[in-house]
Amino acid sequence: MSNKKNKETKSFAEMTEWLQTPLGENLLQTELSLLEDMINRRFGYHLLQLSCADIAVYDDSPIGHKFSLTPSTKVKNASLVAQAEAIPLAGESVDMVVLHHALDYSGDPHQLLREVDRVLIAGGHLLIIGFNPFSTWGARHKFGRNSGKSPWQSNLLSSMRLSDWLELLDFKIEQVHYGLYCLPINSSKLIRYSSFMGKLAQRLNWPTGGIYVISAKKQALPMTPIREPWKAIPRKAKGLALGDNASIAPNQPHNKTLH
């Protein structure tokens, strides 16, 4: 357990440092731009953020109580220190959860999503920011994963796979937006040069952006399921009018139900 915690703390520190590079700053600016319209229209009492780095992406939210879960106390935005896969909060206690590349760095993304589902209220909102494997960033990740440097050591999950997982947990997918069309090269000049079509691509929501943002809502289930009363439907005999009922002859075998 201590090795896992040390690994998470090290990765957290490395991503915090990497986000201060030209490529990291461009990534963060793009993410904040995509989040702006999604996060400032969601209301409630409590917002929880789980991030891969010591950064707050929820400043534009009108929710009053905003806090972060981090793997270490030695960070600026440390509100709650714990593992993301075991959130120390009561069930249905927060109105919004923001996963800022938390799934990309999770050792058990299924468990993390189950925990998010548990702490979210019915009707609560979930925002997921992740790296897109079907992009130039995904290609850079594939060939640079052995370098041991962030963010190329993360585990990329496609937006389609996450959408399937969320639907199994009874979330409704509201929006999926893509962004970050620059080449993943840490050079300010090359970033500007390769971003000349980025604004148009982002406006058209091309699915080849380096990142995606998924907005999902936890479905509110009724307290008492409403079921229609079951009614037997009489069989129709071949050759009779639709309005005529016919019973099955006693000597004729019933059709077997397929299993």
pLDDT on residue 30 = 94
pLDDT on residue 1 = 55
Q: How far apart are CA 187 and CA 22, in angstroms?
A: 6
Q: Where are the domains of the chain?
A: 2-218
Q: Interhelix angle for 109-119 vs 159-168, to 10°?
A: 50
61 contacts 39 by C-beta, under 8 angstroms: yes
Interstrand relation of 80-81 and 171-179 (parallel, antiparallel or unpaired) = unpaired
Q: Which pTM does this prediction carry? A: 0.81
Residue 197 CA, distance from chain mean position: 26
pLDDT on residue 257 = 41
pLDDT on residue 132 = 96
pLDDT on residue 242 = 38
Q: Tens digit of pLDDT per residue, the chain (259 long)? A: 566 677 778 888 889 999 999 999 999 999 999 998 899 888 999 999 999 999 999 999 999 999 999 887 777 776 788 888 999 999 999 999 999 999 999 989 999 999 999 999 999 999 999 999 999 999 988 876 666 567 877 889 999 999 999 999 999 999 999 999 998 988 888 888 887 788 889 889 999 999 999 999 999 765 444 445 544 445 444 443 434 444 434 444 444 444 4
CATH architecture assignment, domain 2-218: 3-Layer(aba) Sandwich (3.40)
39 contacts 53 by C-beta, under 8 angstroms: no
The string of DSSP letters for 129-176 reads EEE-SSSHHHHHHHHHGGG--TTTTS----HHHHHHHHHHTTEEEEEE
Q: How far apart are CA 135 and CA 57, in angstroms?
A: 23
pLDDT on residue 233 = 45
Interstrand relation of 120-131 and 46-51 (parallel, antiparallel or unpaired) = unpaired
